[in-house]
Amino acid sequence: MSTLLEVSGLVKRFGGHHAVDGATFAVAEGSITGLIGPNGAGKTTCFNCIAGSLSPDDGRISFAGEEITGLPPNAIFRRGLTRTFQIPQEFAAMSVLENLMLVPLGQAGENLWESWLRPRRVAVQEREIAERARATLALVELDGQAQQYAGNLSGGQRKLLELARALMSEPRLILVDEPSAGVNPTLTLRLLELIRSLCESRDITFLVIAHDMDLIARLCESLVVMTGGRVLTEGDPRSVLEDRRVQEAYLGSQYR
Amino acid sequence: MDIYAGELPALIALAGGLNWTVGFLTTVAILGILVLGLNIQWGYTGTINFGVVAFFMVGAYTSAVLTLDPPREFESYVGGLELPVPVGWLGAMLAGAVLALAVGLPTLRLRDDFLAIATIGIATILRSIANTQEGLVNRARGLNGIPRPLQQQASDAGLDYDWVLLAIAALVLLAVYLVVHHATASPWGRVLRAIRENEETARSVGKPTANYRVQSFVLGGVVMALAGAIWAHRTGTVAPDAFDNFFTFLVWTMLIVGGSGNNRGAVLGALAVGLVWFGIPLVQEDLPDALGTRVFQVRQMLIGLMIVLFLLLRPQGLLPEEKTVSRHLRAGGRRQTRWPLFTRRRPGG
Ligand SMILES: Nc1ncnc2c1ncn2[C@@H]1O[C@H](COP(=O)(O)OP(=O)(O)OP(=O)(O)O)[C@@H](O)[C@H]1O
Ligand SMILES: [Mg+2]
């Protein structure tokens, strides 16, 4: 398997605080990789740097063989890298359906001239995109909420909306930040299956942040463990989770 | 109070009579265009423009100097090109675009509040340039004798020119409404609303948001400048002092009262607030003495009161924005649009 995402020596400081402090890891194409670590380890900050929301202070990020370090988020998205947010970021005063319909690239109607000159094409595209959006909402059991304001969804539903929105583009890599937080156990299982099947059927690579060890063990083929802004270890889940250093990082030194 | 408010329009129209009403509606149509321009910027995109009057002013002056005769004795201004009025209007729209780019390009990429601050300044700066720059727009004396469209034709045909002006303003309002509606009730408008709701996330789903902000600011500026141009040709005269900052506030009130994010609301707001603004002086005698004698202060206070009350009690305005942005998704949206301007809509759809 080739490497799709490569992060090397990534540094992000907030004031004097090193939130990410030289993190280095890789994500193999076609894999589902877990990114784990205690609260404040710098996982979300890593995501923000990779997706372009923050520009790193040092280090390199390359995606599909090209360097993307410091590119703006919209440019990175266009290369096929999309992400979900740990704290859901919906477009509150827009319907759930249009939250999703916003996402696909190449919409003729997003260009004023085309929208004037090719109204037919716009209408046809809108119909297709609406259908895709409805189908995607059904995957996360939000189809009943399609016409609601996204701002009226519950916390768990917003997390589901995050994932659904990421699926509306045609990404090669999705960074998923805690997909199951606040989502009920049955649906969590379904999400797990969904991510698996998308990985297989649509060739999407996933990098997933999660705290739920059970979910991680079932989902991921490979793990990256972060603490204090650095990568502690990476490898296959079994050996990583049996690693004494990992257990210490999670459970504290009294279990030494 | 309620009954009184309900009777107000009738009372005002009665006090003003037919001529006043025709003139009033012409004014409302022009202001309606202006509010539609602000709606693109604020209602759809969340961009704050406190310099509405600057765009109005630039449109008015540009169309004036393009269509006026050359300066006579004791007058000095650029242009005086005697171009046809429609060319003046196109020139005004171009000038609106240039002003929007000049103000927007450096500031729209920065934080929202930077633009807000920048726009407050431009109206003041432009007014003082108009007042002091010799040979530009005849300084404080203003420009007079701006040609009035179709005046000759109207008198040849024996038509009352005020009605012709009303028809012109109403037609332009309709055209602008249709253009703005077509532009905004679309995937383009959806990107704007997403930017308004959450710009960072819009960027993370691939939208070049700074670019869209500039587009929306320019389109709004063009529409506002067109309103200014029509105004200039309607009154036949423009002078710097007509363009004070309270005017910007009045336009904001119209948008907020009518319903920001709703194009029909924008026009309704121009009518509702316009009625208070232009109508109150007419019913001066019906007001209690304490108010009647201070009618011009009273109407300013009323505008302030309206904006506060609406923000507190009905922030969505008289006509709230539609939940669904794209007209292709609304009731009947499955039908094909045959021609971009005339999308059939169901009532209330
Ligand atoms: N915008 C910011 N400004 C200042 N400090 C920040 C900012 N974002 C994150 N931090 C700090 O950086 C460190 C890493 O935060 P981060 O959100 O990346 O952790 P995390 O691994 O995602 O944790 P969690 O599992 O709780 O989500 C924390 O100490 C946090 O306080
Ligand atoms: Mg986090």
Query: Chain A contacts of B340, Cβ < 8 Å?
Result: 115-116, 119
Check pLDDT > 60 for residue A255: no
User: Does ligand 1 lie within 6 Å of residue A39's CB atom?
Assistant: yes
Nearest CA among B33, B7, B6 for reference residue B224: B33
Kindly state the average pLDDT of the residues A216-233.
Answer: 92
pLDDT of amino acid B335: 45
**Greatest Cα-to-Cα distance within chain B, rounded to the nearest angstrom:** 63
User: Does ligand 1 lie within 6 Å of residue A88's CB atom?
Assistant: no
Q: How confident is the model over B245-301, as pLDDT tens digits?
A: 899 999 999 999 999 999 999 999 999 999 999 988 888 777 787 777 788 888 899
pLDDT of amino acid B334: 44
Domains and CATH numbers, chain A: 3-90+169-255 (3.40.50.300), 91-152 (no CATH)
* Inter-chain touch A91–B339, beta carbons under 8 Å: no
Check pLDDT > 50 for residue B349: no
Range name among A227-231, B175-179, B238-242, B329-333 with the lowest pLDDT average: B329-333
Other beta carbons within 10 angstroms of residue B276's beta carbon come to 20
pLDDT of amino acid B292: 74
- Cβ distance B323 to A95 under 8 Å? yes
Determine the residue type at B327.
Answer: R
pLDDT of amino acid B241: 87
pLDDT of amino acid B128: 92
Nearest residue (by CA) to ligand 1, atom 28, is: A40
In the 8-state DSSP scheme, what is residue B44? I
Check pLDDT > 50 for residue A204: yes
Kindly state the average pLDDT of the residues B208-225.
Answer: 97
Taking the C-alpha atoms of residue A141 and residue A242, their distance in angstroms, rounded to an integer, is 36
Q: Which of A215-219, B288-292, B309-313 has the highest mean pLDDT?
A: B309-313
Check pLDDT > 60 for residue B2: no
* b/e B67-106 (16+ beta carbons within 10 angstroms → b): bbeebeeebebebbeebebeebbbbbbebbbbbbeebbee
Task: Give the whole-number percent of chain B exceeding pLDDT 90.
Answer: 65
**A19 CA distance to ligand 1 centroid (A)?**
6
pLDDT band at A96 (very low <50, low <70, confident <90, very high): very high
Q: How confident is the model over B179-204, as pLDDT tens digits?
A: 999 999 999 999 999 999 999 999 99
- Of residues A89, A95, A126, nearest to B187 (C-beta): A126
- CA of B225: how far to CAs of A78, B34, B49, B341, in Å? 36, 8, 14, 22
- Of residues A53, A85, A109, nearest to B186 (C-beta): A109
Using the Cβ of B300 and the Cβ atoms of chain A, whether some distance falls under 8 Å is answered with no
Range name among B9-18, B29-38, B119-128, B173-182 with the lowest pLDDT average: B9-18
Other beta carbons within 10 angstroms of residue B332's beta carbon come to 12
Whether the complex's predicted ipTM is more than 0.85 is answered with yes
- Cβ distance A254 to A47 under 8 Å? no
pLDDT of amino acid B45: 96
- Of residues A94, A105, A123, nearest to B206 (C-beta): A105
Check pLDDT > 90 for residue A243: no
Nearest CA among B183, B248, B191 for reference residue B46: B191
pLDDT band at B60 (very low <50, low <70, confident <90, very high): very high
Of the residues A68, A77, A94, the best mutation for testing chain B's interface (the one with the most B CB atoms within 10 Å of its CB) is A94
- Cβ distance A83 to A174 under 8 Å? yes
Taking the C-alpha atoms of residue B332 and residue B349, their distance in angstroms, rounded to an integer, is 8
- Cβ distance B99 to B55 under 8 Å? yes
Nearest CA among B225, B69, B224, B56 for reference residue B143: B69
Check pLDDT > 90 for residue B343: no
Check pLDDT > 80 for residue B137: yes
Check pLDDT > 50 for residue B30: yes
Nearest residue (by CA) to ligand 1, atom 16, is: A42
- CA of A210: how far to CAs of A180, A195, A215, A216, in Å? 8, 13, 8, 7
- CA of A231: how far to CAs of A20, A96, A159, B287, in Å? 9, 37, 27, 76
Residue A235's SS3 state is strand
Nearest residue (by CA) to ligand 1, atom 8, is: A45
pLDDT band at A256 (very low <50, low <70, confident <90, very high): very low
In the 8-state DSSP scheme, what is residue A66? E
Range name among A22-26, B6-10, B139-143, B282-286 with the lowest pLDDT average: B6-10
Q: What is the DSSP string of B216-238?
A: HHHHHHHHHHHHHHHHHHHHSEE
The DSSP bridge pattern shows strands A58-63 and B237-238 to be unpaired
Q: Whole-number mean pLDDT of chain A?
A: 92
pLDDT of amino acid B330: 81
**Which residues neighbour B313 within 8 Å (Cβ) at sequence distance 6 or greater?**
none
Beta-bridged to residue A3, according to DSSP, are A28
Kindly state the average pLDDT of the residues A89-113.
Answer: 96
Terminal alpha carbon distance of chain B: 33
Q: Between these two residues, A124 and B290, which has the higher pLDDT value?
A: A124
Other beta carbons within 10 angstroms of residue A170's beta carbon come to 12
pLDDT of amino acid A131: 96
Q: What is the DSSP string of A11-43?
A: EEEETTEEEEEEEEEEEETT-EEEEE-STTSSH
- CA of B154: how far to CAs of A172, B144, B158, B161, in Å? 66, 21, 6, 6
pLDDT of amino acid A248: 82
Kindly state the average pLDDT of the residues A35-64.
Answer: 96
Domains and CATH numbers, chain B: 15-329 (1.10.3470)
Check pLDDT > 80 for residue B10: no
Q: How confident is the model over B62-104, as pLDDT tens digits?
A: 999 999 988 888 888 888 888 999 999 999 999 999 999 999 9
Taking the C-alpha atoms of residue B290 and residue B294, their distance in angstroms, rounded to an integer, is 7
